[in-house]
Structure 1
Amino acid sequence: MITEVARIDVRPGSEEAFEQAVTQAFPVFLAAAGCHGVELHRLVEHPRRYRLVVRWESVEHHTVTFRSSDGFRRWRALAGPHIAAPPEVEHTCMVLSE
């Protein structure tokens, strides 16, 4: 299991519209092969900055399977108009938990 963490900055005044777009996109992520959950976090100190957190079975489920799918194109169509700059995406794997 890996976790995709995407830093997304939205255009000024687009916060509510972006959150609505992500709400519409949640089923797209959840229907994707290898997706085990999705969350959206808004930064308190930077209210135009978000973290999209998606749990994937493998990096390939995100970078190959999802990114080449109609679901990815749907996600981009919904969220893209509100995004100020290309998201910064990293993949993590848990090494410790309590």
Structure 2
Amino acid sequence: MILEVAIFDIVPGQEAAFEAGVGRCRPLFARAKGCRAMSLRRVIEVPGRYQLLVEWDRLEDHIIGFRESEDFQTWRATVGQYFAAAPVVEHSEIVAFSD
């Protein structure tokens, strides 16, 4: 399983619109091949910053399957207008865990 963490800084005053846009886009992720789950979190220490957490079966499911899809274009058209800067996106995999 691959965890995508995307960090978004949102234009001040547009936070509620961004959150609503992400909510409208949930079906895009739900139908994406290899997408297990997604959630949006508001960062407490930095106003206007959010973390999008998406679990993918494989890295390719995100960087090829989703990013090259029409659904990705819809996602960016829906929420991209609220970005104050380009998002930072990282992918990770579990190498150790606790019981």
Q: Does 1:31 align with 2:31?
A: yes
Q: Which residue of 1 aligns with 2:85?
A: 85
Q: Does 1:57 align with 2:57?
A: yes
Give the drift of 1:47. 2.1
Q: Which residue of 2 aligns with 1:97?
A: 98
Give the drift of 1:3. 0.5
TM-score by length of 2: 0.95
Distance 1:89 1:3 in 2: 10
Letter in 1 for 2:10: V
Give the drift of 1:94. 1.6
Structure 1: stretches of 5+ with no match in the other structure = none
Letter in 2 for 1:88: V
Distance 1:54 1:97 in 2: 21
Structure 2: stretches of 5+ with no match in the other structure = none
Q: Could you list the runs of 4 or more consecutive aligned residues of structure 1 that deviate by over 2 angstroms after TM superposition?
A: none
Letter in 1 for 2:29: F
What SS is found at the alignment partner of 1:33? coil
Letter in 2 for 1:26: R
Give the drift of 1:45. 1.0
Q: Give CA-to-partner distance per residue, 1:35-79, whole Å, 9 cap, x none.
A: 001000001111200000000011110001100001100100110
Q: Which residue of 2 aligns with 1:21?
A: 21
What SS is found at the alignment partner of 2:30? helix
Distance 2:15 2:45 in 1: 14
Q: Which residue of 2 aligns with 1:69?
A: 69
Q: Which residue of 1 aligns with 2:44?
A: 44
Distance 2:30 2:3 in 1: 14
